[in-house]
Amino acid sequence: MSKNPQRFTITAALPYTNGPIHIGHLAGVYVPADIYSRFLRMQGHDVAFVCGSDEHGVPITIKAKKEGVSPQDVVDKYNGIIKKSFEEFGVSFDNYSRTSGKTHHDTASAFFKKMYDDGKFIEETTRQLYDEEAGQFLADRFVTGTCPKCGNEEAYGDQCESCGTSLNATDLINPKSAITGAVPTLKNTKHWFLPLDQYEDWLKEWILKGHKADWKSNVYGQVKSWIDDGLRARAVTRDLDWGIPVPVEGGEGKVLYVWFDAPIGYISSTKEWAEREGKDWEPYWKDENTKLVHFIGKDNIVFHCIIFPVMLKAHGDYILPENVPANEFLNLEGKKLSTSRNWAVWLHEYLEDFPDQQDVLRYVLTANAPETKDNDFTWKDFQARNNNELVAIFGNFINRVIVLTNKYYNGIVPEPGEYSEVDEKTIAELKAYPSVIASSIERYRFREAQAELMNLARLGNKYLADEEPWKLVKTDEERTKTIMYVALQIASALSIISEPFLPFTSAKLKNMLNQSDINSGQTPDWDIIGTKEALIPAGHQIGKAELLFSKIEDDQIQKQLDKLEATKTANEMENKKAEPQKETATFEDFTKMDLRVGTIIEAEKMPKTKKLMVLKVDTGLDKRTVVSGIAEHFKAEDIIGKKVTVLVNLAPRKLRGVESQGMILMTENTEGKLVFVNPDEEGVQSGTTIN
Ligand SMILES: [Zn+2]
């Protein structure tokens, strides 16, 4: 064990189970939490790394209503998908739970009850919107109406998505129930509130003074502005039938607010794990020597830095988080990731297109992690980092070492001679890496830590390139052995130190080096690099070379970009609103218009214009000139012979000096390209009237 083995409880934000997870979730929360947890275990610490699905709340009930299924069906479906994605990407949770499970219901219920018994809540009766037809109170999201600020007629009871204003359901003009469409009435209802304002001074002391130096500036800044604005009591119960019933008198028909029960899910998940492992869960949440760290995205800062700590403090039995290293947001190709708009790279889809390349995504997401500001994921950068770093540096170095060792020594690690100055320096640098990387990880700087991992691969690559054993082997066999021995030590170190970042690569590399059980001793894995005389001893038999990474070609990237382009088009199509219907036209109005089938017999772009094309059209009555604004969309030679719809009795008018005697009917497709209103069926003759 390490000198100071410590107990850690690491939590990762509970994903909300109304959709699968995408790269933004992975980059913001789960990869950094996994790196941290794997690193701590490799240092010999006692770690509980827990997570689970957040399965309560109004959005799930709305989704269930929309799809005509039960809320349980919705959460069962997505819990399965999400859990599988985490497993596939090597996120090493000790336990992945669900908030709809019994352990959680019992734990959250008891937590509320104790606070209630201790008088920690304020009871208040408020007037809330009620749907008489459905016989239930309406949660904010179940009310729509006109935004008092911008006039958007589809604002929700908690927010207008058009102007971004945060609202109360009672602020809406012409409120309507989203369940039945009925006009809601106001009715009294009792709720329990957590008086955050009473904890303001304590929060100032604990966070603003106590964690000024060690919390990330983006987190500290957000917390400070919340506290500076003044805190108010928050309702911790809701009138809803999906969730954890309020376990006290008067609580019938009410559930715990999803934000009250969800973070308690960390505790329930730890309990489940401890029970399975035959351990006591309590020290992980109640012992002052345990470090509690919450990994979250920036949208959860207020809940994890203010509300949950106040709950823990008010309850009284629990420790408080040591740190909350929240990340900012990851964008995709310059745009905000969005589940509802399908603007995302979904993990399960990624693996279909890049099978067995989980580590490439983990690598790129960490290299680009939004640690201090929002950051952008682009497919070009993904390709470049894979090809120029993972393939060209890490993969190339390992491949050379394994191939040459097999070629020169039948895969047996050679006996080294005396070290040169370069060898000494290289080994000394190698031994320093674990503490350099550790210092970055301990400060939650995962990008920096991973960059150092790549620097270790660079060290190996450069060493081989400078020493050129493939040349030296012809003239100095003894020196070649020493070089290969040193290179093998670097390869072995890489197999260990890459584990938190690239767990699949690490396992593959250990297997290639025939070192899957590299450490059977008492020293933690992380420390043996600095302390062990030979990481891979002379005489050890290694295995054959396998490809660790492979080049990603342009067409693979193009395919991903095309997919996003298709999403963009689909979104535009969905958002396109049909123009309102025009004034009523009488039958007489309509028959005034003489619409005929015509055939284009000549076409020529009008010189010095961008859009205009001069057409000769056979209308069946005559052959006449029509000027049409279609030159940007069609080539002249492609439309000759085409049957079109022509308004033949439109008053003639001159366009750039050419008289147009009619109009060809056009419309446009979803991409904005003009298309003909098409009478192009076989057997339809020019001159036929359209009515
Ligand atoms: Zn608005």
Structure confidence by residue, pLDDT tens digits, 307-350: 999 999 999 999 999 999 999 999 999 999 988 788 999 999 99
Which tokens go with 31?
A: 């990869």
How far apart are the two ends of the chain, measured CA to CA in Å?
88
Question: How high is the pLDDT of residue 212?
Answer: 95
SS3 content of the chain, % helix, strand, coil (to 5): 45, 20, 35
Residue 523: both structure tokens together: 């020293």
For residue 494, give the nearest of 467, 470, 459, 448 by alpha carbon. Answer: 459
Tokens representing residue 23 in the block: 């790269």
Give the per-residue pLDDT at 579.
Answer: 67
305 is in an annotated binding site: no
Q: 564 C-alpha to center of ligand 1: Å?
A: 29
CA of 242 to the centre of ligand 1 (A): 29
pLDDT over 70 percentage in the chain: 97
Return mean pLDDT, the chain. 92
Q: Output the CA 163–ligand 1 centroid distance in Å.
A: 4
Reported as a single tens digit per residue, the pLDDT across 235-272 is 999 988 899 999 999 999 899 999 999 999 999 999 99
Inter-axis angle of helices 308-315 and 102-117, nearest 10 = 60
CA 297 to centroid of ligand 1, rounded, Å: 26
Alpha-carbon separation of residue 148 from 129, 140, 171, 178, 317 (angstroms): 17, 15, 7, 18, 45
- CA of 143 from ligand 1 middle (Å) equals 14
Segments of 54-166 assigned E as strands: 95-98, 122-131, 136-137, 143-146, 155-156
Average pLDDT over residues 97-107: 97
Question: Which three-class secondary structure state does DSSP give residue 265?
Answer: helix
Q: CB under 8 Å to 621, separation ≥6 — which residues?
A: 596, 648, 687
Report yes or no on whether pTM surpasses 0.75: yes
Q: Tell me: pLDDT of 180 over 70.
A: yes
Count CB-CB contacts under 10 A for residue 465: 11
Q: pLDDT at residue 1 above 60?
A: no
How far is it, in rounded angstroms, from Cα 502 to Cα 494? 10
For residue 606, report the distance from its CA to the centre of ligand 1, in Å: 47
Find the 299 Cα to ligand 1 centroid distance in Å: 21
Q: Give distance in angstroms: CA of 153 to centre of ligand 1.
A: 8
Please give the residue that has the higher pLDDT: either 250 or 135.
Answer: 250
Cα of 578 to ligand 1 centre, how many Å? Answer: 22
Where do the H-state alpha helices sit in 249-395? 258-277, 283-286, 301-302, 308-315, 347-353, 358-367, 379-385
Give me the amino acid identity at 175: P
Q: How far is the CA of 147 from the centre of ligand 1 (A)?
A: 5
Are the CB atoms for 542 and 512 separated by under 8 Å?
yes
State the distance from the centre of ligand 1 to the C-alpha of 165, rounded, in angstroms.
Answer: 6
Query: In sequence order, which residues have a C-beta less than 8 Å from that of residue 453 and are 6 or more positions away?
Result: 433, 437, 494, 497, 498, 501
Give per-residue pLDDT as tens, 581-610. 777 888 888 888 899 999 999 999 988 888
Instruction: Between 670 and 449, name the one with better pLDDT.
Output: 449
Query: What would the mean pLDDT of 407-432 be, rounded to a whole number?
Result: 97
Compute the distance between CA of residue 277 and CA of residue 11 in angstroms, rounded to an integer: 18
Largest CA distance in the chain: 105
pLDDT band of residue 2 (cuts 50, 70, 90) is: very low
The arithmetic mean of pLDDT across residues 543-556, rounded, is 96
pLDDT of residue 26: 95
Q: Is the pLDDT of residue 520 over 80?
A: no
Ligand 1 centroid to residue 171 C-alpha, Å: 11
Residue 406: HSE in the Cβ half-sphere, 13 Å Cα cutoff = 14
- Compute the distance from residue 503 Cα to the ligand 1 centre, in Å: 47
Instruction: Compute, in angstroms, the gap from residue 176 CA to the centroid of ligand 1.
Output: 16
Strands (E), 107-247: 122-131, 136-137, 143-146, 155-156, 173-177, 185-194, 234-235, 237-239
Q: Rounded CA gap, 672 and 12, in Å?
A: 44
Who's near 96: CB < 8 A, 6+ residues apart? 50, 51, 52, 53, 83, 86, 269
Q: Is the pLDDT of residue 3 over 60?
A: no
51 marked as binding residue: no
pLDDT at position 146 is: 94
Task: Tally the residues of the chain.
Answer: 691
Which residue would you say has higher pLDDT here, 341 or 566?
A: 566
Question: How close is the Cα of 154 to the center of ligand 1, in Å?
Answer: 9
Predicted pLDDT of residue 679:
76
Cα 573 to averaged position of ligand 1 atoms, centre (Å): 23
pLDDT digits (tens, 9 = 90+) for 349-391: 999 999 999 999 999 999 999 998 999 999 999 999 999 999 9
Indicate the SS3 state at residue 381: helix
Task: State residue 510's pLDDT score.
Answer: 95
**How far, in Å, are 339, 408, 487, 518, 686 from residue 401 at the CA level?**
44, 11, 7, 18, 77
Confidence of residue 179 (pLDDT cuts 50, 70, 90): confident
Paired strand residues for 192 = 123
Cα–Cα dist 468/470, whole Å: 5
Alpha helices (H) in 368-445, listed in sequence order: 379-385, 396-409, 421-442
**The pair of three-digit structure tokens given for residue 630, joined into one six-digit string:** 């279609």
